[in-house]
């Protein structure tokens, strides 16, 4: 039976949940393409690197992380190299990129992805940075290498927002995208409406595990800017980067603003928007006062939604309710199935 070999950069919650799906559902990709799925490499920043061209034991990998928080340096498959070394040595067909992202420069994800293309691998990434900043360059490199470049989980986790626009709105043209794309800041705005201070709201989000230790990427809009740029580049054929976006923080939203909006039946939401105007692309991430009839005003907590305005299909919204790690892992898994289908 033909074999498809995967390797991973990063093995945090998403990577482990994805491996759980793979172990759980191994029969399914097999049914689609008659291929056996093997994992031949896993490289991490702090847990070590494992390589075995004949296939690592997934259950054993998961068990080591579970028990010791890292791979066992005494294991026969343990290696001293990092991601780049693993890409060179593990002989995989598919590179699954799940590293922690710097939104500022989209690294190290972008460099790893380019290295994977050079080594003849398909790429699946959960990172929005590469699509937000270098989509046209990376998709060109993928095409030159004759490889797939997939990233469904980069925006809205498992909700098929890229696939829907690309596979289902064929023959149509999206001219505007609006979304609530950052769960942390949306949760914080919900809390402000409950008379909780910004500081306490952020602390609450951190306790719930939905905000980083440094919440500024979320609260100040840069995570949203990366996501709306990724959507605009992929779906609208734009060629934008987060630096081109008008980005306002929600730090400036006061209790008075919230009360005043509430009295008028409005809600303040952190709206990411991309719109084609006179041939130019206008990108913004700003707190906006939305009327109750606007469906984006109804997105609560860590849910997310995106409305696409298309020339023929009209105005279509896709919403994901309270996503968790399983949904992000499904986004990666769904990319693997897309890849298997395309390989035929």
* Interacting residues with a copy of itself (CB under 8 A): 21, 25, 28-29, 157-160, 163-164, 167-172, 293, 295, 298, 300, 305, 307, 312-324, 326-327, 329-330, 333-334, 337-338, 341
Residue 174's alpha-carbon distances to 93, 145, 164, 226, in angstroms, are 33, 28, 12, 19
Checking DSSP bridges between strand 2-9 and strand 35-43, what pairing results, if any? parallel
Closest approach of a copy of itself to the CB of residue 137, in Å: 25
CA–CA separation, 226 vs 126, rounded Å? 13
**Quick one: 64 or 332, whose CB is closer to a copy of itself?**
332
Closest approach of a copy of itself to the CB of residue 259, in Å: 19
Q: Which of 125, 21, 19, 112 is nearest to 65 (CA)?
A: 19
Closest approach of a copy of itself to the CB of residue 307, in Å: 8
Closest approach of a copy of itself to the CB of residue 130, in Å: 21
Distance of CA 10 to the CA centre of its chain: 14
223 and 103 in contact (C-beta within 8 Å)?
yes
**Quick one: 91 or 324, whose CB is closer to a copy of itself?**
324
Q: What is the DSSP letter of 155?
A: T
Closest approach of a copy of itself to the CB of residue 293, in Å: 6
**Quick one: 203 or 337, whose CB is closer to a copy of itself?**
337
- With H, G, I as helix, E, B as strand and everything else as coil, classify residue 220: coil
Closest approach of a copy of itself to the CB of residue 74, in Å: 35
280 φ, ψ (degrees, to nearest 5):
-105, 160
**Quick one: 243 or 322, whose CB is closer to a copy of itself?**
322
Closest approach of a copy of itself to the CB of residue 235, in Å: 14
Q: Residue 206: count other Cβ atoms within 10 Å of its Cβ.
A: 14
Q: In what order do the strands lie in the sheet with 304-310?
A: 246-247, 280-291, 266-277, 174-180, 304-310
Tokens 């989000």 correspond to 205
CA–CA separation, 121 vs 153, rounded Å? 19
Closest approach of a copy of itself to the CB of residue 48, in Å: 29
**Quick one: 67 or 194, whose CB is closer to a copy of itself?**
194
Closest approach of a copy of itself to the CB of residue 8, in Å: 19
Q: Residue 105: count other Cβ atoms within 10 Å of its Cβ.
A: 12
What angle do helix axes 13-24 and 58-68 make, rounded to 10 degrees?
Answer: 140
**Quick one: 284 or 302, whose CB is closer to a copy of itself?**
302
**Quick one: 192 or 198, whose CB is closer to a copy of itself?**
192
**Quick one: 28 or 220, whose CB is closer to a copy of itself?**
28
**Quick one: 264 or 311, whose CB is closer to a copy of itself?**
311
Checking DSSP bridges between strand 280-291 and strand 266-277, what pairing results, if any? antiparallel
DSSP string, 209-254: T-S-SSTHHHHTTHHHHHHHHHHHHHHS-----GGGSEE--GGG--
**Quick one: 168 or 208, whose CB is closer to a copy of itself?**
168
306 φ, ψ (degrees, to nearest 5):
-135, 135
CA–CA separation, 268 vs 334, rounded Å? 34
């Amino acid at each position: 039976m033909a074999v498809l070999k995967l390797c991973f950069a990063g093995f945090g919650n998403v990577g482990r949940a994805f491996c759980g799906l793979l172990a759980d559902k191994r029969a399914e990709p097999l049914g689609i393409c008659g291929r056996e799925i093997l994992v031949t490499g896993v490289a991490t920043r702090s847990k070590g690197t494992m390589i075995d061209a004949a296939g690592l034991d997934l259950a054993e990998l998961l068990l080591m992380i579970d028990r010791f928080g890292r791979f066992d340096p005494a294991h026969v498959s343990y290696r001293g190299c990092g991601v780049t070394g693993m890409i060179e040595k593990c002989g995989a067909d598919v590179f699954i990129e799940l590293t922690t992202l710097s939104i500022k420069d989209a690294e190290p994800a972008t460099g790893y992805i380019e290295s994977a293309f050079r080594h003849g691998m398909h790429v699946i990434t959960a990172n929005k940075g590469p699509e937000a900043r270098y989509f046209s360059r990376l998709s060109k490199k993928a095409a030159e290498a004759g490889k797939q470049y997939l990233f469904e989980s980069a925006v809205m986790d498992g909700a098929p927002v890229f696939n829907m626009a690309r596979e289902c709105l064929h023959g149509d043209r999206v001219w505007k995208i609006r979304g609530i794309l950052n769960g942390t800041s949306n949760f914080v705005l919900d809390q402000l409406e409950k008379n909780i201070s910004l500081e306490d709201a952020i602390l609450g989000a951190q306790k719930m595990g939905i905000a980083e230790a440094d919440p500024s990427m979320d609260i100040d809009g840069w995570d949203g800017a990366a996501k709306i740029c990724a959507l605009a580049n992929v779906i609208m054929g734009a060629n934008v980067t987060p630096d081109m976006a008008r980005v306002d923080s929600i730090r400036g939203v006061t209790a008075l603003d919230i009360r005043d909006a509430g009295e008028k039946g409005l809600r303040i939401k952190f709206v990411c928007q991309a719109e084609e105007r006179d041939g130019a692309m206008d990108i913004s991430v700003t707190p906006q006062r939305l009327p109750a009839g606007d469906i984006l005003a109804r997105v609560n907590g860590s849910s997310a939604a995106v409305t696409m305005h298309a020339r023929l299909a009209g105005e279509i919204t896709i919403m994901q309710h309270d996503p968790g790690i399983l949904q992000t892992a499904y986004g990666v898994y769904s990319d693997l199935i897309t890849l298997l289908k395309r390989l035929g």
